[in-house]
Amino acid sequence: MNKSFEATAARLAPAIFVVLWSTGFIGTKYVINNAEPLTYLAIRMAFVVVVMAVIAAVARPTWPDRIGVFHSAVAGILVHGFYLGGTAIAIAHSIPAGLSALIPGLQPILTSTIANRWLGERVTPLQWGGLVLGLAGVVLILHDRPLTGEAGWGWLASIVSLISITLGTLYQRRYCNRIDWRAGNLVQYVAVTIFFGIGAYMFETNVVHWNAEFVLALAWLVFALSVGSIGLLYWLIRHHAATSVASLFYLVPAVTALMAYVLFNERLDTVAIMGMAACAAAVLLVNRRG
């Protein structure tokens, strides 16, 4: 492959990841109109298993040993299970799509703190400044929002998403970095399909409205999100420090909010826009090297 093409692809990868990841919140709002959260996720993951099985059958990757299978399953439950489950439940509890990305947007703060101790990555004072600036930006975006009642359960689910995606990203980097992504992802998706299937059976009615809105949104979430953005996320984890990868999540609330404003007419006020600008500046600072 041409080196200039590889270099260009490497530069574009973070931006593509942010856009794809942001569409996950938008797509979830569409599917939640037609199915309960865990039921929809069980269906989504079952389709993803089929897609990844086809990819693995064609590519014939090296399969992990028993320990690798265990680590992949744990990473899958964290990255896909509790993160996606928390996000879907938050949206189902009336948290707007543009705001459901806010609490997980705090991931860089939590990631940098843990990475500094667990992975031995050095976080520079400039990067710490960027992380704090990003936190301030998220606080600005969160201003004047209801945090109690049904919305309170939604925010709680978002906090679960924050913790799980943080731990899952770090766990993936530490224990799954050398596992072929095709084999590892297939193991992860099988584990999380079982996880969501049990949850849907125990806690939901499993009613699904198979209309065009649900099918199209589900197809996007399967191919663009579960295959495309997750594969890209793991590529970024392999090639960048955990703190730098996590800092990309600061941009997700802003991009999601812009999409939600266009598609759902969700409110964007001046203070929230200032918060988005602070988040963008934070990403630049956190990703500076040296």
Instruction: Give percent of the chain above pLDDT 90.
Output: 39
Please give the pLDDT value at position 114.
72
- Calculate the average pLDDT of the chain: 84
Q: Is 239 a domain residue?
A: yes
Tokens of 244: 């730098």
Lowest mean pLDDT among 8-12, 60-64, 100-104: 8-12
What are the C-alpha distances in Å from 94 to residues 6, 59, 89, 140, 244? Answer: 42, 42, 9, 20, 31
Average pLDDT over residues 105-132: 72
CA 266 to CA 99: how far, in whole Å? 9
Q: Is 1 a domain residue?
A: no
Q: Is 2 a domain residue?
A: no
Please give the pLDDT value at position 3.
66
Q: Is 208 a domain residue?
A: yes
- The helix-helix angle for 149-175 and 230-239 (nearest 10°) equals 50
Q: Is 4 a domain residue?
A: no
Q: Is 87 a domain residue?
A: yes
Please give the pLDDT value at position 149.
61
Please give the pLDDT value at position 183.
93
User: How many domains does the structure of the chain reveal?
Assistant: 1
CA 115 to CA 119: how far, in whole Å? 5
CA atoms within 13 A of residue 200's CA, in its CB half-sphere: 24
Q: What is the extent of the structural domain holding 222? A: 15-286
Average pLDDT over residues 1-5: 60
Please give the pLDDT value at position 6.
60
Average pLDDT over residues 101-122: 70
Highest mean pLDDT: which range of 20-29, 189-198, 230-239, 255-264: 189-198
Q: Is the pLDDT of residue 133 over 80?
A: yes
Q: Is 7 a domain residue?
A: no
Please give the pLDDT value at position 16.
86
Please give the pLDDT value at position 76.
94
Average pLDDT over residues 262-281: 79
Please give the pLDDT value at position 10.
67
Q: Is 253 a domain residue?
A: yes
Average pLDDT over residues 62-82: 94
